[in-house]
A and B are shown apart, each in its own frame.
Chain A
Amino acid sequence: MGNTMNAEFTHSPDEPLDEVDVALLADLARIADEIDPVPAGLVDRSLFAITLAGLEAEVMELEYVQAPAMSVRGDAPPVEARTITFTSESVTVMISLSPADGGLVRIDGWAAPATALRVELHRPGSVSEASSDDDGRFAFDAVERGPASLVVRRADGSGGAVSTPVIEL
């Protein structure tokens, strides 16, 4: 193949976009999505995260995921046991997800440093609450699938709230 970089243009760069240009750009976008698809549900997770932004909680970082397919999100296989760790400067929260009856999900969580916590599970349109024991353990036994975020506060009210990024249960 010749070095076209230095060749004279046979296509004029000065003309406005014609339909071939427009079609090429559309092809490029389609190919980019084929090679690295935007995860299913990312828009919904983002919209949900935006509604949670009003809680003024510090958003934790997803540290790492142990799962058969290394994925907790829209492109995940059906739920199997998964462990996800979230960190912030003040607290680390680890949760294990496992299947519950009726296609629901059970969440077992543990926070460090160990202390009594109030934990809110936010899902679009609903919030449920659990309290941890003094060792920082908590559980939600049967949760619907879909986008969700946990917001964690100390039971004694000291310190601020932290929230996990929105994950797909």
Chain B
Amino acid sequence: MIMVVDPIGAAIGSPDPSDPLLRPNPTSVPRTESMSRPTDEQVPTGESEESLGDRGAFALLEYREGRTHAFEAFVREATPLLWHTVRAQGVDREQADDLVQTVWVALVRNATTIKEPHAVLKWLLITAKRASWEAVRRHRDEARRRTELPDDTDEGIPELPSSAPSPEAEVLGNERDRGLWQAMARLPERCQKLLRLVSLADRPDYKAISAATGMPVGSIGSTRGRCLAKLRDIIDDQGESWETP
């Protein structure tokens, strides 16, 4: 498998999987289904309610104990976020399907070595991005090799995806949606990234957002507020209503 570079070393500290001290500590694992939060470190999310990061942490701890129900629910909930993260790196749909699967497989293979369950969403996003960059780079190399062979007209090679997500607003049937998408496109890049991420997950934790956008954790709350305020100003400026009909 070429695509998933284990990001634990860079992102979370590099535990030795064979080290028994790094095995999950059973006392930190919630014992009852009704318990909605893991008992270990809480990351400030800026929100009072449970975040996707919290649910991911709980899911991972449950998975380590052989209970897969919460984990399946987490896969369901976080897959769209992973999909759009991979696609935003310029990976075509066919390969993005593989990459998302591969990222999940990498997570369960590393399930016992992730020291900090609250970093699980961040881990997923970093893993997805690195796997995507690797996939895009390989496709470019392959395309370059192919163009050096003028006789090779194999039509089975997928076209190179563009490196940026295109704002294909024309596929949107609804005028209001087109207006909103165009307004998004006028935001600074960091705002677009942040809002896309925040919108795709029900409260991703700030650590994960920070890992995905490069913004410091401390500034995410205020940046989100600024980006949404700008978005609403642009919508006003476009002379459209943002009110939900």
Please give the residue numbers on chain A whose beta carbons come within 8 Å of chain B beta carbons, in ascending order. 1-2, 4-5, 7, 9-15, 17, 20-21, 23-36, 38-39, 42-43, 45-47, 49-50, 52-53, 58-62, 64-66, 70-73, 75, 88, 165-166
Chain A residues with CB under 8 Å of B222's CB are 13-14
The answer to whether A4 and B79 have CB atoms under 8 Å apart is no
Q: In the complex the two chains form, is B236's CB within 8 Å of A14's CB?
A: no
| Distance of A73 Cα from B99 Cα, bound (Å) | 13
The total of interchain contacts (Cβ-Cβ below 8 angstroms) comes to 158
Q: Which 8 A-B pairs have the closest CB atoms?
A: A13-B225, A28-B199, A13-B226, A11-B229, A13-B229, A25-B199, A49-B101, A29-B199
Q: Assess the B238–A34 pair: CB atoms within 8 A.
A: no
A45 to B79, CA, bound (A): 11
* Nearest Cβ on chain A to B194's Cβ, whole angstroms: 11
- Bound complex: CA A72 to CA B104 (Å): 20
Please indicate which of the listed interface residues B2, B109, B168 has the most CB atoms of chain A within 10 Å of its own CB. Answer: B2
Residues of B within 8 A of A34 (CB): 171-172, 177
Tell me the smallest distance from the CB of B66 to a CB of chain A, in Å: 12
Q: Which one of A5, A31, A38 contacts B181 once the chains associate, using CB atoms below 8 Å?
A: A31
- B196 CB within 8 Å of chain A: yes
Closest to A29 in B: B199
Contact residue among A28, A46, A64 (Cβ-Cβ distance under 8 Å from B100)? A46
Having A9-B229, A35-B171, one finds 11 other A-B pairs with CB under 8 Å, namely A5-B186, A12-B229, A24-B228, A31-B180, A33-B80, A34-B177, A36-B84, A47-B104, A53-B109, A59-B102, A61-B2
On B, residues with C-beta under 8 Å from A are 1-3, 72, 75-76, 79-80, 83-84, 87, 93-95, 97-98, 100-102, 104-105, 108-109, 156-158, 165, 168-169, 171-172, 177, 180-181, 184, 186, 188, 195-196, 198-200, 222, 225-226, 228-234, 236-238, 242-244
A32 and B157 in contact, given A5-B230, A39-B93, A65-B94 (Cβ under 8 angstroms): no
**Interface class of chain B by DSSP:** helix
Q: How far is the CA of A7 from the CA of B237 in the complex (A)?
A: 11
Bound together, the chains give a CA A47 to CA B73 distance in angstroms of 10
Best-surrounded residue of B1, B3, B195 (most CB of chain A within 10 A): B1
Check B233–A62 contact: CB distance below 8 A: no
- Closest Cβ of chain A to B174, distance in Å, is 9
B94 touches A50 (CB 8 A): no
Give complex CA distance A130, B100 in Å. Answer: 29
- Known A9-B230, A66-B156; contact A61-B3, beta-carbon cutoff 8 A: yes
The listed residue (A21, A26, A32, A71) touching B196 by CB distance below 8 A is: A32
Q: Is the CB of A62 within 8 A of B229?
A: no
Closest-CB distance, B198 to chain A (whole angstroms): 6
Task: Give the CA-CA distance A9 to B200 in the complex, in Å.
Answer: 25
